[in-house]
Amino acid sequence: MDNPFGLLAELTYRCPLACPYCSNPINLAGYADELDTDEWRRVLVEARDLGVLQCHLSGGEPLLRRDLVEIVAQAHDLGLYTNLVTSAVGFSRPRAAHLRAAGLDHVQVSIQADEPALSDAIAGTPSYDRKIEAMRVVKELGWPLTVNVVLHRRNIDRVAEVLALAEQVGADRVELANTQYYGWASRNRAALLPSRAQLDAAEVVVRAARTRLRDRMDVSYVMPDYYSRYPKPCMGGWAARQLTVTPNGDVLPCPAAQSLPLPRASVRADSLARIWADAPVMTAFRGTDWMPEPCRSCDRRELDFGGCRCQAFQLTGDAARTDPVCHLSPDHGLVARAVEAANAGAAIDDAPLVPRPHR
């Protein structure tokens, strides 16, 4: 067991947007009792002592925390590299200047599309113009900027335009991440899963952009699991490299693991070090001993670790099953049928979306 190098600090699940692909928990009210400033300060100290080097400040929308500057300053003073993951709603110039002075190292701004009306429709609120202004502020204050766009059936056809927008705002990195179907995204899978033709067209655009922009901007493209032959190595292995602390202090090996029927571990009851080493939520699927067939005898078991435990649970009801994304999984038909439906015709384009509620 190695010590983790990355901490995802989910400061709040409150958010001014209502994105239908949000991976936050369905039960948002269960996380309303948020850690206070002193509790987060203690978590950061314990994370540093555990070996964490990177701290990603996320949510929900972390800018809704009035103590965000104090949390950033604490992480900076501890020597952690800090990355703010934000919708940019609330990223005013004065707030940005305070965060810069506190030592924030990097800003990642999400945007829903390159075109204002489409972006605002997906976000569930007018926000496009504020996002563009926030990106300008990020560059003016000298931060590296990552532009993140979650791709799905409603916007993937505009990848070329999204890349042009990222160039225009001077992004150092653009992350084109196909939707992962957890949380609210799982409820909207039928309306969000792109077709094979859409994916093929997007990949051509991305390959050309990587060649053209290789000296100016890093282009990251994350394929949707459902179209892969093998699953992705979930978080580099269960509780192997990173951990997540949720707004109410629960500690998880990944952001989606709150859905699993495992005993909870909280920083309000124990130290990060003890949780990382011994808590059942961390040890349940660590390594390879837990694996069933066909994973147990597969020569890829130390490459993809059986895939995503949360996805396995969501699709089969059993977190110990082989990820159904894998073509070798006995449950692969669950994914194959979803893909078949996504390629069945244009009627699915009118499938209704269930927005994540504003909080």
Helix (H) / strand (E) containing 55 = strand 54-58
| CA 75 to centroid of chain Cα atoms | 21
DSSP one-letter code for 114:
S
Whether the bond into 60 is cis, omega within 30 of 0: yes
Identify each DSSP E strand in 70-217 by its residue range: 81-86, 106-110, 145-151, 173-178
Helix (H, G, I), strand (E, B) or coil at 322: coil
Is 254 annotated to bind a ligand? Reply is no
Is 15 annotated to bind a ligand? Reply is yes
Contact between 245 and 251 under an 8 Å Cβ cutoff? The reply is: yes
Is 55 annotated to bind a ligand? Reply is no
For residue 127, give both structure tokens.
């926000």
DSSP string, 293-355: TTTTT-TTHHHHTTS-HHHHHHHHS-TTSPPTTSTTSTTHHHHHHHHHHHTS-GGGGG----P
Alpha-carbon span 46 to 259, nearest angstrom? 25
38, with CB counted inside 10 A (0-12, 13-18, 19+), is: exposed
Helix (H, G, I), strand (E, B) or coil at 150: strand
Alpha-carbon span 217 to 167, nearest angstrom? 8
346, with CB counted inside 10 A (0-12, 13-18, 19+), is: exposed
Max intra-chain CA distance, the chain: 57
Alpha-carbon span 86 to 339, nearest angstrom? 31
Residue ranges for the binding site for [4Fe-4S] cluster? 15, 19, 22
Residue ranges for the binding site? 15, 19, 22
